[in-house]
Amino acid sequence: MRISAHGLGGAKDLPIPSELAIAGAVAALVISFTVLAIAWREPRYDVATSGRPAPMWLDRLVSSRALAVTARVLGMAFFLYVAAAAVLGKDSAVNPFLGTFYVLLWVGLVPASLLLGPFFKAVSPARTISMLFARVSGVPEGEGLRAYPERLGYWPAALGLFTFVWLELVYPNATDVGPVRLWCAAYLGIMLIGSAVWGTTFLARADPFEVYSSLVAKLSIWGRRDGRLVLRSPLANLDTFVARPGLVAVVGVLFGSTAFDSFRESTPWLKLVQSMSGSRVLPDTLALIGFSAGVAIVLTIATMATGVTSGTPRRALPDLFAHSVVPIIVGYIVAHYLTYFVEYGQRTLLDLSDPFTRGDDYLGTADLQINYWLSNHPTFLAVTKVVAVALGHVVGVVAAHDRAIRLLPRRHQLTGQLPLLVAMVGFTVGGLYLLFAA
Amino acid sequence: MRLSAVAVPLVLVLAASLTACGGSDDADPPASSQGATADGDDVAITVTREGDAFTPNGERVELAVDQTLVLTIDADEAGELHVHSTPEQEIEYDAGTSEHELTIDRPGVVEVESHEPDIVLLQLEVR
């Protein structure tokens, strides 16, 4: 059977009703200006003091070597299992490698990181293999041949994320096993070479999945202060994310690509690209770049349009504020991928039981029935989506507000926040519009 | 705490929107509604193929759950349409004019696509 040329999964969600989209947009506006008007005037979040220490037993458990090793062993075992399906399994949509890659890994790392903290870092096969290499060759753990250049920051991760979303959303054979396997092999190769040269710092800055997961993990309650495990509110936790060059690009790719995913299926765009001669790869690529760069540029301009103090150069502002867009991204990703994750995720669990498509049932999940409750309740689904988007917007606006009163000179605090606030309302309303129109 | 003051307008607006669409909740088709075809007539669409050129081109069509879509395919060569419902359905057609029936049993947007060349002909909005 020939596989769908437009990504995994069958039916897509219905558009959200117009009244819900409008309600969400109004909520975004109201929330934004309420925060501006009534929220605190002194910064509340401080890395050095925020969070309450977790109970001693929990700290000991979470920090234990046994848990770390268990996570690595499980991560590696799962990686090898799926790699076997990727290499030996059939080239078809029921090969669980595809579902694991696009759904369980790419979408699943968001809820996993929200609940558990930096989840991918703990199970990452690239990190495990590079740690084993280091141990075998006697290199001190985490060290490379040279220091990772600070100027590079998160730029390699932004590039890696872009190649991923291009593969998923633009490349016509995205659901053939061969090209996806090639992408994974290249990814793994680059991660291993990079970590040999620059140590595990490279993985923390350049591994697209690790950066994405660690960014989302800042919206969890788990944090660390002076080595101790602490529990923080997601807002206080988000504030502890260390800004580095390239963070704006990471945020731009994550948000822009999700918006593009809605856009590419909208009727006007579909009609346009299909009426052009030639394949849709070029127009889709340009649109994906346009969406990603658009988000990054809007964010850059909106954060720089303020008065500054001598302590913070203007060009540092975009990266220092980029974290506040993360909650908006997470809200929008929940809205965009919830059904896909729940329903195609179940499909993948079934397929995983039979990795070589020969009728095996290794995990005992092959005969489970997929639950389509979510698809069958479109109103509930639409409301959940709008609530997720609105919630993301609140957290984002509050995070930006706290950062603004910390960084901006007092007389620019109110006016300095306005451009970013307008940009955030634009992102949220734009996202809602795409959920409504596409 | 000030944060709770932020939450108030959010809750109000969302509550308003929830009650606003409370009415449409009734229109939510039940999971195994067989009644949709009883009150609505079939929806008829004609698909034409001349070589690699297809009409319609990505048209949106509203359809009820379990309502029958009658596809009249007028083609100058044989081929196959893929219906990206969950699970997928396929429609094989011969050269000449043929009629095919299609139903979707779950709400969502379902694309009807030709392969080789890959062209989305219809997007069915199934409610």
Find which of A171, A274, A397 to mutate to test the B interface (most B CBs within 10 Å of its CB): A274
Check whether A350 has a pLDDT greater than 50.
Answer: yes
| CA dihedral sign, ordered A364, A367, A373, A374 | positive
Nearest to A5 among B20, B115, B123 (CB): B115
* DSSP character string of A142-194: T--SSPPPGGGTTHHHHHHHHHHHHHHHT-TTTTSHHHHHHHHHHHHHHHHHH
Best CA proximity match to B107, nearest among B58, B64, B68, B70 = B64
Query: Residues 162 to 221 of A: which have CB under 8 A from any B CB?
Result: 172
Check whether A385 has a pLDDT greater than 90.
Answer: yes
The answer to whether the Cβ–Cβ distance between B17 and A20 falls below 8 Å is yes
| Beta pairing class for A228-231 and B59-63 | unpaired
CB neighbour list of residue B8: distance below 8 Å, 6 or more residues apart: A34
- Contact at 8 Å (CB) between A218 and A167? no
- Contact at 8 Å (CB) between A307 and A330? no
CA gap B111, B122 in Å, rounded: 6
Decide which of 2.40.160.40, 3.40.50.300, 3.20.20.70, 2.60.40.420 is the CATH code for B29-126.
2.60.40.420
Nearest to A379 among B7, B21, B106 (CB): B21
3-state helix, strand, coil in chain A (%, to 5): 70, 5, 30
Instruction: Supply the pLDDT for residue B6.
Output: 53
CA gap A27, A339 in Å, rounded: 24
What phi and psi values does residue B71 have, to the nearest 5 degrees?
A: -100, 120
- Contact at 8 Å (CB) between B66 and B33? yes
Show the domain range for A102. Answer: 18-437
Average pLDDT, chain A: 93
Residue A18 contacts B, CB cutoff 8 Å:
no
Instruction: Supply the pLDDT for residue A245.
Output: 95
Residue A30 contacts B, CB cutoff 8 Å:
yes
If interface means Cβ-Cβ distance under 8 Å, which residues of chain B face chain A?
Answer: 2-3, 5-10, 13-14, 16-18, 20-21, 24-25, 28, 31, 57-60, 82, 84-88, 104, 106-111, 113, 115, 118-120, 123, 125-127
- Contact at 8 Å (CB) between B120 and B112? yes
Prior bond to A125 cis, omega within 30?
A: no
Residue A387 contacts B, CB cutoff 8 Å:
yes
Q: Is A422 helix (H, G, I), strand (E, B) or coil?
A: helix
- Contact at 8 Å (CB) between A17 and B27? no
CA gap A85, A22 in Å, rounded: 45
CB atoms within 10 A of CB A65: 7
Chain B CB contacts of A429 under 8 Å are none
CB neighbour list of residue A365: distance below 8 Å, 6 or more residues apart: A349, A350, A352, A353
Residue A11: inside a domain, yes or no? no
CA gap B98, B72 in Å, rounded: 6
Taking CA–CA distances from A2, the nearest residue in chain B reads: B115
pLDDT band at A7; cut points 50, 70, 90: low
| Beta pairing class for B69-75 and B43-50 | parallel
CA gap A190, A234 in Å, rounded: 32
Chain A CB contacts of B58 under 8 Å are 267, 270-271, 274
Q: Number of A to B CB contacts under 8 A, please give it.
A: 138
pLDDT in tens, A85-113: 999 999 988 899 999 999 999 999 999 99
Residue A48: inside a domain, yes or no? yes
CA gap A153, A246 in Å, rounded: 6
User: C-alpha angle A117/A363/A177, rounded to 5°?
Assistant: 75
What phi and psi values does residue A213 have, to the nearest 5 degrees?
A: -65, -40
CA gap A438, B123 in Å, rounded: 11
Q: What is the ipTM of this complex?
A: 0.86
Encoded tokens for B66: 């379990």
Instruction: Supply the pLDDT for residue B9.
Output: 55
Chain A CB contacts of B92 under 8 Å are none
Nearest to B108 among A13, A172, A394 (CB): A13
Q: How would you class A43 by CB atoms within 10 Å of its CB: exposed for 0-12, middle for 13-18, buried for 19 or more?
A: middle
CA gap A23, A383 in Å, rounded: 10
Encoded tokens for A261: 């995913």
Check whether A3 has a pLDDT greater than 50.
Answer: no
Residue A4 contacts B, CB cutoff 8 Å:
yes
Chain B CB contacts of A11 under 8 Å are 84-86, 104, 106, 108-110, 126
Instruction: Supply the pLDDT for residue A143.
Output: 84
Check whether A398 has a pLDDT greater than 60.
Answer: yes
Q: What is the CA radius of gyration of chain A?
A: 22
Provide the number of structural domains found in chain A: 1
Chain B CB contacts of A394 under 8 Å are 6-7, 10
Taking CA–CA distances from B56, the nearest residue in chain A reads: A271
Check whether A367 has a pLDDT greater than 60.
Answer: yes
The answer to whether the Cβ–Cβ distance between A10 and B110 falls below 8 Å is yes
Mean pLDDT by 10 residues, chain B (127 residues): 53 54 41 38 92 90 94 93 90 94 94 87 94
The answer to whether the Cβ–Cβ distance between B3 and A398 falls below 8 Å is yes
What phi and psi values does residue B81 have, to the nearest 5 degrees?
A: -110, 140
CA gap A148, A328 in Å, rounded: 30
* DSSP character string of A71-121: HHHHHHHHHHHHHHHHHHS-SSTT-HHHHIIIIIITTTHHHHHHHHSSHHH
CA gap A133, A131 in Å, rounded: 5
Nearest to B2 among A39, A275, A394 (CB): A39
CA gap B65, B52 in Å, rounded: 31
Residue A2 contacts B, CB cutoff 8 Å:
yes
The answer to whether the Cβ–Cβ distance between B17 and A372 falls below 8 Å is no
CB neighbour list of residue B37: distance below 8 Å, 6 or more residues apart: B64, B66, B67, B68, B103
Encoded tokens for A113: 């990181």
Residue A319: inside a domain, yes or no? yes
pLDDT in tens, A307-319: 888 888 899 999 9
Instruction: Supply the pLDDT for residue A278.
Output: 82
CA gap B40, A88 in Å, rounded: 49
Instruction: Supply the pLDDT for residue A5.
Output: 43
CB atoms within 10 A of CB A42: 7
CA gap A307, A304 in Å, rounded: 8
The answer to whether the Cβ–Cβ distance between A14 and B125 falls below 8 Å is yes
pLDDT in tens, A212-230: 999 999 999 999 999 999 9
pLDDT in tens, A233-250: 999 999 999 999 999 999
